[in-house]
Structure 1
Amino acid sequence: MTLPPSFTDEHVAGAVALSELERDALTELVNIGVSRAAASLRRMVGGEVLLSVPAIEIIPQATAATLIAEREGEDLVAVRQDFSGAFRGRALLLFPQSNGLELVRAVLGEDVAPEDAAEMEREALAETGNIILNGCLGTMANMLHRSLTMSLPQVLRGDGRSLLDAGGPASPEGLVLFLYINFAVRDRSIRGYIAMVMDMPSLGALKLLVGDFIERVMDDEMDVFPAAQG
């Protein structure tokens, strides 16, 4: 996903901007977390799960809502889990609303009657969201040497703006970390993406943890290749 030039890191200069090295490190953390979560989803649905490379930007919350609306329209279903600990925020697994029943069929099998599938949709969505969001965030936290507490999954419906504001709207000038990851299930009409919304204090805390992670990785590399020192 390419964001408008007006919403690059220059737009947040003086706030909490990510350096190129920090962005690369955070992208790798997210990529590892989502890949591990996708392995669990693959076992659930019995099909290949395709992932895009994560796109990470610090943008206004309203811009994130606009990007979701432009891609998916107004009718969305989301699984939301709040997380807290060293940093806090809201994680959302979002689908077009039409994908809900298709996901139920992928999880439970094709023989599920339409009336039963409708009743099971919320449970299947919550279970899918719990596996993916917990797997992604749990892996990230472990690699940052921290722990996170996750809330129980909630299934929500609405447009991008209402889903992002579900935990209490940010100010119009507020900046959020928006992680955009496309995923699709091969041979199924299922697609969606993951977004994480964080406030400024949490962005600052995460930035410090990513800096510590980079230092650890660089120290490990120096231990492996001591001749490179000096």
Structure 2
Amino acid sequence: MSESAIALDELERDALTELVNIGVSRAAVSLRKMVSKQVTLSVPSVEVVTRRTAASLIGQRESETLIAVQQQFEGPFSGRALLIFPESNGLSLVRAIVGDEMAEIEVAEMEDEALAETGNVILNGCLGSMANMLQHTLKMSLPAVRRGDSNLLFEAFGGTSGESFVLFLYINFSVREHDIRGYIAMIMDLPSLEKLKQLIAAFIDRVMTDTE
């Protein structure tokens, strides 16, 4: 199936971008409590693409090894969520979280734990809030940290029966004056993606009704 067949229309994309931004804003509040410093998060764009296109989009932008925090989610729509950073951005994130006063060896020892905890906060905040506003809940697995290039990450975690697609979100945030870029990818099969689109349509209808 082509990407055009499962693409979001303008209204759906606007609604989903709003839902995701509310989710990451709530995640930013949780991160702010964790690091006791100002945290800003934003999702400037949302796209639905194939796994191959998602891997290509990141591969064109990032030449270094990638770090991904991965969690399975289950509910009315199911799949795997990935929070992805270039490796250097991941290290900057850990440094921002644990503080600049720690020695490099201590930062390295805490890296996976800090990334997993941060990924858990962001992914749970984003997906949980999104599902809540769609009047449903999602069950999230424990986070796991993986490393590799974009092809490896998407092939390794996209192996569902049938065709799968990626809800692909660019994400910008800053922690303790560290500017960090990354990506959120929700890998879903076609039935889950179609269910998500139905829930978004119902959300749009509710908003439209409330504003009339």
TM-score, normalization: structure 2?
0.89
C-alpha displacement at 1:170, in angstroms?
6.3
Residues 17-54 of structure 1: per-residue CA shift (max 9 Å, x gap): 32221121111111111111122223333443344443
Q: Which residue of 2 aligns with 1:94?
A: 84
Q: Which residue of 2 aligns with 1:155?
A: 145
Q: In structure 2, which of residues 9, 16, 20 is the aligned counterpart of residue 19 of structure 1?
A: 9
Change (3 A) 1:107 1:69: same
State whether structure 2 residue 61 is matched by structure 1 residue 75: no
C-alpha displacement at 1:138, in angstroms?
0.6
Q: In structure 1, which of residues 92, 97, 106 is the aligned counterpart of residue 96 of structure 2?
A: 106
Q: Which residue of 2 aligns with 1:145?
A: 135
Distance across 1 between alignment mates of 2:174 and 2:162: 32
Change (3 A) 1:109 1:146: same
C-alpha displacement at 1:12, in angstroms?
3.6
Please tell me whether the aligned partners of residues 20 and 126 of structure 2 are also in contact (alpha carbons under 8 angstroms): yes
Distance across 1 between alignment mates of 2:134 and 2:12: 13
Change (3 A) 1:17 1:192: closer
Distance across 2 between alignment mates of 1:110 and 1:186: 10
C-alpha displacement at 1:173, in angstroms?
7.2
Change (3 A) 1:70 1:28: same
State whether structure 2 residue 204 is matched by structure 1 residue 214: yes
C-alpha displacement at 1:82, in angstroms?
1.2
The 3-state SS of whatever aligns with 1:176 is strand
The 3-state SS of whatever aligns with 2:21 is helix
Distance across 2 between alignment mates of 1:172 and 1:67: 22
Change (3 A) 1:126 1:217: same
Cα root mean square deviation, aligned: 2.2
Q: In structure 1, which of residues 101, 119, 124 is the aligned counterpart of residue 109 of structure 2?
A: 119
Whose strand proportion is higher, 1 or 2? 2
Query: Which 4+ stretches in 1 moved above 4 angstroms?
Result: 170-174
State whether structure 2 residue 52 is matched by structure 1 residue 62: yes
C-alpha displacement at 1:191, in angstroms?
3.1
C-alpha displacement at 1:88, in angstroms?
0.9
Distance across 1 between alignment mates of 2:134 and 2:142: 23
Distance across 2 between alignment mates of 1:97 and 1:32: 27
The 3-state SS of whatever aligns with 2:60 is helix
- 128-137 or 15-24: which moved more? 15-24
C-alpha displacement at 1:80, in angstroms?
0.8
State whether structure 2 residue 30 is matched by structure 1 residue 40: yes
The 3-state SS of whatever aligns with 1:54 is strand
Change (3 A) 1:75 1:172: farther
Aligned length: 211
Please tell me whether the aligned partners of residues 88 and 202 of structure 1 are also in contact (alpha carbons under 8 angstroms): yes
TM-score, normalization: structure 1?
0.82
Show structure 1 runs of 5+ residues with no match.
Answer: 1-10, 223-230
Change (3 A) 1:24 1:119: same
Please tell me whether the aligned partners of residues 50 and 164 of structure 2 are also in contact (alpha carbons under 8 angstroms): yes
Distance across 1 between alignment mates of 2:7 and 2:56: 21
Change (3 A) 1:174 1:103: closer
- 128-137 or 185-194: which moved more? 185-194
Please tell me whether the aligned partners of residues 76 and 96 of structure 1 are also in contact (alpha carbons under 8 angstroms): yes
